[in-house]
Amino acid sequence: MDDVLIIGAGPAGLAAALQLGRYGIRPRLLEGSRPGGLLWNANRVENYPGFSGGVSGPDLVRAFLDQTEHIQITREPVLDLTWQDGAFYAKTPASVYPAKTAVIASGTKPCPLTGFTIPDTLRGQVVYDVAGLLDSAGAKVVVVGGGDAAFDYAINLARKNSVIILNRTEQVKCLPQLFAQAQACQNITYRPNTGIIRLESAPAGGMVVECSSPKKTIKLQADVLIGAIGREPQLDFVSPSLMERSADLEKMGILHFAGDVKNGMFRQTAIAVGDGIRAGMLIHQRLMENANEADRIHR
């Protein structure tokens, strides 16, 4: 049985593993996708200390991964996490990993686009992140959303593609500098008060995006459609009975949530990293207390 199980090797999970390593504790770190997490999608991170002038998301991830190179990552998705008879059990397609303590650092999942049907033929072209698109050039991209992620995605992809941002309302929720940057970019068209009503495959490839705007219905051609209308905690794998007991287990110091998965609107890398370090410290403290208690009993 492992002392510590960490689910997710994004900034929070990596930081937790790094901190535990300082005490000589080797956690089982499970990652279902690409280590580094959501940050692979960030165009420019300007609020992570230590990088004057900012740093690109992928460069910051590479720095994290360089620093944590010695930490073993088990590349398996957790399908089910349960709590039974005093232990956590993480089930993956390959195995079941029992552990005394768990850190859930699984980040968020995108809110799906709604209000229109996505034809099966277009499923591969309707996506929710940009990490896999960064090499594409000359494509027509439509981004849906009005917050930081929508504008960050648009600015990132507009270097080599033409981008339209569709915002259902007039309200812009992104940082002012992102809005200004998008406005100044020749490859970005911003359309407020415009919502998608229909999506269909175009005969010549790509798709036709039919939208309602205040005065008329418009049809846009696109190769790819990106949803950026919000994110919610990724907790699909946590069993309902564990979720029910989670507050008690947190109080007992054996379950920790770290990073975006618990941070609501405070979804930022520095906060996620801080959460991970804190979880590592608390777990060490608890393991020490348990060891001292066992010592006392045996003496």
Residues at the interface with ligand FAD (CB under 6 A)? 7-13, 30-33, 37-39, 41-42, 45-48, 77-78, 105-108, 149, 152-153, 234, 237, 259-260, 267-270, 272
Q: Which is nearer to ligand FAD, 38 or 255 (CB)?
A: 38
Residue 117 to residue 80: CA distance in whole angstroms: 30
User: How many Cβ atoms from other residues are within 10 Å of residue 226's Cβ?
Assistant: 26
Q: How far is the CB of 197 from ligand FAD (least distance, A)?
A: 26
Q: Which is nearer to ligand FAD, 76 or 210 (CB)?
A: 76
Q: How far is the CB of 76 from ligand FAD (least distance, A)?
A: 7
Q: Tell me the Cα Rg of the chain.
A: 22
Q: What is the DSSP string of 187-206?
A: TEEEESS-EEEEEEE-TTSS
Q: Which is nearer to ligand FAD, 39 or 99 (CB)?
A: 39
Q: How far is the CB of 236 from ligand FAD (least distance, A)?
A: 7
Residue 207 to residue 219: CA distance in whole angstroms: 10
Q: Which is nearer to ligand FAD, 45 or 222 (CB)?
A: 45
Q: Helix crossing, 57-67 with 11-22: angle to 10°?
A: 20
Q: How far is the CB of 33 from ligand FAD (least distance, A)?
A: 4
Return the bridge partners of 80, or none: 91
Pairing of strands 140-144, 80-84: unpaired
Q: How far is the CB of 176 from ligand FAD (least distance, A)?
A: 14
Sequence-distant (≥ 6) Cβ neighbours of residue 232 within 8 angstroms: 108, 109, 111
Q: Which is nearer to ligand FAD, 205 or 240 (CB)?
A: 240
